[in-house]
Amino acid sequence: MKLTATALVVGACLSLTACKETPNNVDNNAAVNSQSAVTPADAKKFIDGAEAQLLELIIEVSRADWVNANFITEDTSKISAVANEKYTNIIVKLANEAARYNGLDLDYDTARKLEKLKLALTLPAPQDAAKTAELSTIVSDLGGMYGKGKYCKADGKCLSLGDMSSTLSTSRDYDELLDVWQGWRTVSPQMKPLYQRQVELTNEGSTALGYADTGAMWRSKYDMPADDFTTELDRLWGQVKPLYNSLQCHVRARLGDKYGTDKVPQDRPIPAHLLGNMWAQSWGNIYDLVGPENADPGYDVTELLKEHKYDELTMVRGAEKFFTSLGFEPLPETFYERSLFTKPKDREVQCHASAWDLDTQDDLRIKMCIQRTGEEFSVIHHELGHNFYQRAYKGQPVSYQESANDGFHEAIGDTIALSVTPGYLKEIGLLDKVPDESKDIGLLLRMALDKVAFIPFGLLVDQWRWQVFSGEVKPEDYNKAWWELRTKYQGIEAPLTRTEANFDPGAKYHVPGNTPYTRYFLAHILQFQFHRELCKIAGNEEPVHRCSIYNSKKAGKALNEMLEMGSSRPWQEALAALTGSNKMDATAILDYFAPLQTWLDKQNEGRSCGW
C-alpha cells in the first residue's frame, strides 16, 4: 500500500552534490549552526519550518508517484525519480539538523516531531561526502541485482521470479520444486560484499544520529527502549507459538504422506521448497495437500459476485458501504473520479493494489486492476481501510499523519477484511444462507496457512538484520545465522547444503531493498486483537471468527477515535484507546482459531511433533 511520502523515505543520499546543498526554502536561521549553543526555542522554530516544507514536498512527490504508477513511461518515471530524490535529500539534511537538538529539555510535541524526523531515515548516510556517495551506489546496485535476477538453466532457458513462484505454487514434483528453489538463490551471492559494506556505512550514519547501530535505530521507532521492544516481540511470539507448532506438525505430516518420509522426515524441520512459496512465508498454495475432506463451505464468492452482477465499481461501492454502516462519512466523489479500478487497454500501469492520500486531506484514491473475484472483494475492503485511516488523521500535523506505529496501518486494513465473513455476505444480499459451523474448519485452515504460517517469518527477517547491524552476526556467518533463525522460528530447513558462498537472505526482496519487516509481524498480531475488541464493542455473540462488525455504529466510533490519533501519541496509548490495554496481545489469534486448534490436536494424535 502507498502512504504519504514520510513513510517512503529510504534515506540514503542519491547524489554527492545534493547531500552538500542547503535545500531550497529551508529557514537558515532555524537550521542552527552545530558549533553554536542551541535552545528549546531554536528546536521548535526548526521543526515548525521543517513541517511546512515537508508538507509541500509530500504533495509534490505523491502526485509525481501517482502519475508514474498510472501512466508508466520513461518521462513519468524520470519525473517521479527526480521528485523522490529531491525529497530524500532534504530529509537527509533535516534529519541531521534534528540531531543537533539531542539532549535538550523540550516540550512533548517538539521532542516527538524531532525524533520522528530522525527516524524517517531507513538507511542514514554517513556525514562524509565520499561515503554517502558510496552508500547511494550500493543501495542502487543491490536493488538492481534483485530486480534483474533470473535463473538461467543449462538449456539456455531463463526463468523470472514470477515464473519460478508460479511453479512453486502449483507443481507437486519434488525435484522440479527443488530446481527452481535453488535457481532463484543464484541471484544473491554477489550481493554479500555490497551488503556487508552497506552495514558498515549505515551504522556510521546511525551513530552520528545518536543510535548504537542501525538496528537499534529501527527499533527506536516503537515508543520504547530498543532492547525492550525485542523482548516484547519474543513475548508475542511465545503466545502464538503453540498454534503455529500444531499447524507445522500437521503440514509436515501431510507433506510426508505426499512426498514420502524419506524426503520429509517426521522428526526434522520441513524442507523449505515444499510449502508453496519461494520463501516459505505463507503456505496457502498447498491447501489442496493439507486441507480437511468435505470442507467446501458450499458457496464461491466469485460466483456470487457474478450471479448478482457486481462489476468493479459495484464492488468498490459495496466495500465503501461497509464503512458508512459503521458511521464513517462517505468517501469524496473525487475518490471515484480519480481512482484506478480497472486495467486500461491503452497504457501501462502498476496493477498492485494500493491506497493513496495525495494531499494529506481529502484527495484519497485506490489503484487496482480489479478482478471480479472473492479475493479481490476482500482486498478492496482492506485498501479502503487504509483510506479511511488516512482521512481520520488528516487533522493532525504532518509529522503525525501516519499510523500509531508502522504495523497499525496494515493491521487496520486486515481487521476490516476479517469482517468479510459468510454472515456479512448474507447481510449484504450476496449469500442466501450462512453455512453451519461444520464448514468453518476449511475456511480457518486456509486462513491459518497464510496468516499463522507467516508470523514467525515476519519476526525473523529483522531479527537477522538486527544481529547483523549490531555485529553479533559476523559476515562469515551471515548465511548460517539466517538458517538457524529459520529453523528456530519456522521449523523449516534448506533442502540442500548451504554455505557462506551463498547469501540466502538476499533472495528476499526486503533485505536488498532495505525495507523493515517487523511491521508485518505486528500487523498480523494487531489485526486479530483489533477484531476481537471491535466484536465485543459491537455486541457480537458468535465465535469471533464468525463475527462481522458491519452496521455497528459503536464499533465504528471506537475505531475512528483510535484512527484520528495518527501517531500523535505513543502507540500504546492508541492501542489502549480501542482495546483498554496498552499491550499487544496475541491470544486474540488463539481465540480466532480455537476451532482449528481443536481440529489440529485431533489430527496430530499419535504424530511426533516438534523439530
Of 283, 279, 277, 286, give the one whose Cα is nearest residue 259.
286
Write out pLDDT tens, residues 388-430.
999 999 999 999 999 999 999 989 989 999 999 999 999 999 9
Write out pLDDT tens, residues 462-477.
999 999 999 999 999 9
Tracing cell 486495467 back to the chain, one arrives at 343
Tracing cell 487496520 back to the chain, one arrives at 412
Write out pLDDT tens, residues 424-452.
999 999 999 998 888 899 999 999 999 99
Task: Look at residue 351 in the predicted model and tell me its pLDDT.
Answer: 82
pLDDT at residue 252 greater than cutoff 80 = yes
Cα–Cα–Cα angle for 530, 534, 535, nearest 5°?
120
Of 277, 237, 270, give the one whose Cα is nearest residue 256.
270
**Active-site residue list:** 352-353, 382-383, 386, 410, 510, 520
Task: Look at residue 7 in the predicted model and tell me its pLDDT.
Answer: 32
Q: What cell numbers appear for 556 in the block?
A: 465504528
Rounded distance, CA 524 to CA 413, Å?
A: 11
Write out pLDDT tens, residues 490-531.
999 999 999 999 999 999 999 998 989 999 999 999 999 999
Give the count of beta carbons closer than 10 Å to the beta carbon of residue 573: 14
Distance of CA 53 to the CA centre of its chain: 28
Write out pLDDT tens, residues 166-177.
999 999 999 999
Three-class HEC string of 92-138:
HHHHHHHHHHCCCCCCHHHHHHHHHHHHCCCCCCCCCHHHHHHHHHH
Rounded distance, CA 453 to CA 274, Å?
A: 14
Task: Look at residue 528 in the predicted model and tell me its pLDDT.
Answer: 98
pLDDT at residue 29 greater than cutoff 70 = no
8 Å CB contact between 489 and 237: yes
Element (H, E) at 493: strand 492-493
- Strand 354-357 to strand 364-367: parallel, antiparallel, or no bridges (unpaired)? antiparallel
pLDDT at residue 20 greater than cutoff 70 = no
pLDDT at residue 31 greater than cutoff 60 = no
Helix ranges (H only) for 209-310 are 214-219, 226-259, 287-290, 301-307
What is the mean pLDDT of the segment spanning 29-46?
A: 71
pLDDT class of 347 with cuts at 50, 70, 90: confident
8 Å CB contact between 460 and 490: yes
Rounded distance, CA 531 to CA 547, Å?
A: 9
Break the chain into its structural domains and give their ranges: 5-134, 140-197+224-296+444-516, 301-435+519-603
8 Å CB contact between 107 and 40: yes
